[in-house]
């Protein structure tokens, strides 16, 4: 997409969150760009990215928070590709073909009691899809979402 710099186009780690407040002490979160790559394991969440003119399509978070975020589903014991496909069908209709864009990889060597994900690694994937949303939501300027963990994957739109 026009407007992205070379850093965002390359594969591999594009950002590292050092000691992020949302993870236990001593942890980090890597943001990895891997368009069309292999789905990492374990994958905990899939997020769906629809872009339009510097905006991304967002919906209310399912955790009850008032913030908007990318459409998201928990993977659980299912195949992440199957979950991404189902989410894409729900959001943009049949024929949608989500492609892995990248992921946030939590690296947690010492989980605490409040950390709900697998350790030492947990992945939160972002899948790009084209189409027109068939569900209610809001187009949000991507720069308004800088605090999202996944933002470095698309943050230079």
3-state SS track over 53-69: CCEEEEEECCCCCCCEE
Q: Is the residue at 51 inside a domain?
A: yes
Q: Which residues pair with 43 in a beta bridge?
A: 123
Average pLDDT over residues 54-78: 89
Mean pLDDT of the chain: 88
Alpha helices in the chain (DSSP H): 6-9, 80-92
pLDDT bucket at 8, cuts 50 / 70 / 90: very low
Q: Is the residue at 108 inside a domain?
A: yes
Share of the chain above pLDDT 70, in %: 90
Q: How high is the pLDDT of residue 155? A: 66
If one compares 7 and 100, the residue with the highest pLDDT of the two is 100
CATH code, 41: 3.90.79
Q: Give yes or no for residue 4 having a pLDDT over 80.
A: no
pLDDT bucket at 10, cuts 50 / 70 / 90: low
Tokens 């928070």 map to which residue?
65
Residue-range definition of the domain harbouring residue 23: 12-151
Query: What is the pTM assigned to this prediction?
Result: 0.88
Q: How high is the pLDDT of residue 153? A: 87
Q: Is the residue at 101 inside a domain?
A: yes
Q: Is the residue at 36 inside a domain?
A: yes
Query: For the chain, what is the domain count?
Result: 1
pLDDT 10s digits, 72-116: 999 999 999 999 999 999 999 988 999 999 999 999 999 999 999
- The SS3 assignment for 151 reads helix
Describe the strand order of the beta sheet including 99-107 as a list of residue ranges.
Answer: 12-18, 28-33, 99-107, 121-128, 43-49, 72-74
For residues 80 and 93, give the distance between their C-alpha atoms in angstroms, rounded to a whole number: 18
pLDDT 10s digits, 118-150: 999 999 999 999 999 999 999 999 989 888 888
Tokens matching residue 60:
């209310």
Average pLDDT over residues 51-75: 89
């Amino acid at each position: 997409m026009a407007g992205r710099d070379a850093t965002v186009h390359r594969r591999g780690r594009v950002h590292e969150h050092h000691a992020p407040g949302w993870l236990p002490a001593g942890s980090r979160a890597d943001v990895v760009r891997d368009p069309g790559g292999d789905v990492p394991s374990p994958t905990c969440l899939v997020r769906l990215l629809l872009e339009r003119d510097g905006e991304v399509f967002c919906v209310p978070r399912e955790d009850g928070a008032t913030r908007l975020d990318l459409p998201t589903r928990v993977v659980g014991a299912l195949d992440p590709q199957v979950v991404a496909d189902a989410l894409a069908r729900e959001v943009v209709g049949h024929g949608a073909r989500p492609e892995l864009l990248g992921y946030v990889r939590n690296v947690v060597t010492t989980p605490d009691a409040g950390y709900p994900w697998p350790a030492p690694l947990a992945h939160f994937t972002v899948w790009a899809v084209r189409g027109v949303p068939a569900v209610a939501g809001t187009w949000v300027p991507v720069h308004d979402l800088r605090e999202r963990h996944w933002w470095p994957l698309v943050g230079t739109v």
